Amino acid sequence: MSKTKKPSIRDYLYEPPGPRTRTWIRVGTALALGLIAALVYAVIHQFAVTGQLKAKYWSFFSRWTTWRFIGQGLLTTVEVALTAAAITFAAGFLLMRGRLSRHAILWRLSAGLISFTRGVPTLLFIYFFFLVVPRTGVKLSAFWKIALPVAISACGVVAEAFRGGVNAVPRGQREAALSLGMTERRAFYRILFPQAFRYIIPTLIAELVIVLKDTTFAYIVSCADLMQNARVLISNYDALVSTYLVVAVIYILINYGLNRLSENLAGRESRRKTA
C-alpha cells in the first residue's frame, strides 16, 4: 500500500488552490487562529476575574471518587446510546424496507411513521415516556425511559438515510441481479444493500452522535448518565463552570472519536473499491 495522502471529498469537489488562493488561505487561517486565541484568552480571563479558576472549584477533580462517579455516568451514557442506536438502526432498517415495499399499506404506514418521528422533537417523545406511558400501567426503568424515546426520535432519519443509500445504487445492479434469477429479496440483501452501506456509513455515525447528544436529556427521567451525575457534582460542590467544562470535553472527545471512525471506514471502503 502506498503512503500517499488519501484523497478526501474536498479533492473531488474543489480545484487545487493556486498560489494566490493559497496566500489568502494562509492569511485567513492566521486571522482565524488569532481570533480564536483571543476568544479563549478572553474567556479564561473572565473566569479568572469572576473567580471560576479558584482551587475550590477544581480541587475535587483530584479525588478518585469524583472520577469514579463521572465514569459511572459515562458508562450509563454509553450503554443508553448504544442500546438506543441498536434499536434505531433496526427500526430504521425495517421502516426503509416498508417504505420501499410494493405493498401500498406497508408503504403508507412506513412513510407516515418516518415523517412522524422526523417531525416530533426528541423532548416530546421523552415526556411521552416519562409522563404518559406510566399512566397506562406500563412500568419502565429510567434506562428505557430515555433509550426508547431517543431511539424512536432518530429512526425516521435513519430510515431515510438507508433509503437514500439504496436508491444511490445504480439501477443496473438490481436488473443484473434479477436477470441472473435472483428474487427481489435476494437481490436486495446480496447486491443492493451491501453496496448501499458504503454510502450510509457516514450518516449512520452522524446519527450516532445525535443519539449520544440526545441521551443528555436522561436527567429528565432521572437516569444516572454522565449529564445527570455532572448535575449532582455541580450541586454538591457548587462548581458549575468547571464541571460543565470537564463534561463538555468528554463529550467532544467521544464525538471526535466517532467522526474519526467514520472517516476511517469511508476511507477503507473507497480504498477497497479501487484497490
Q: What residues make contact with another protein under the rule CB under 8 A?
A: 170, 172-173, 175-183, 186, 190-191, 194-195, 198, 272-275
Q: Which is nearer to another protein, 71 or 170 (CB)?
A: 170
CB 251 within 8 A of CB 156: no
Can you read off the three cell numbers belonging to residue 28? 485567513
Between residues 63 and 190, which has the closer beta carbon with respect to another protein?
Answer: 190
What is the nearest approach in angstroms of another protein to the Cβ of residue 196? 10
182 or 241: CB nearest another protein: 182
**Among candidates 233, 211, 200, 203, which has minimal Cα distance to 79?**
211
Nearer to another protein, 34 or 194 (CB): 194
Q: Which amino acid is at 19?
A: P
Beta carbon nearer to another protein, 20 or 272: 272
- Taking CA atoms, 80 is separated from 39, 139, 260, in Å, by 35, 18, 21
**Closest approach of another protein to the CB of residue 109, in Å:** 22
Separation in Å, CA 103 to CA 73, 77, 109, 229, 259: 45, 39, 10, 48, 37
State in angstroms the smallest separation of the CB of 70 from another protein.
43
- C-alpha cell of residue 190: 446480496
Evaluate the CA torsion angle 172, 173, 174, 178 in order and state its sign: positive
State how far the alpha carbon of 199 is from the alpha carbons of 96, 193, 213, in Å: 15, 10, 23
Closest contact distance (angstroms) between CB of 252 and another protein is 34
Question: Cα separations (Å) of 154 from 12, 92, 215?
Answer: 30, 8, 12
CB of 181 to another protein, least distance (A): 2
Whichever of 3 and 185 has its CB closer to another protein, that residue is: 185
Amino acid, single-letter form, for residue 156: G
Strand positions, DSSP E, the chain: none
Rg value, the chain, Cα: 24
Q: Could you tell me the smallest distance in angstroms from the CB atom of residue 192 to another protein?
A: 10
Output the smallest distance, CB 11 to another protein, in A. Answer: 18
Shortest distance, position 180 Cβ to another protein, whole Å: 4
- Nearer residue to another protein within complex by CB, 173 or 255: 173
Q: Which is nearer to another protein, 134 or 194 (CB)?
A: 194
Q: CA torsion sign, 79 to 80 to 82 to 86?
A: positive
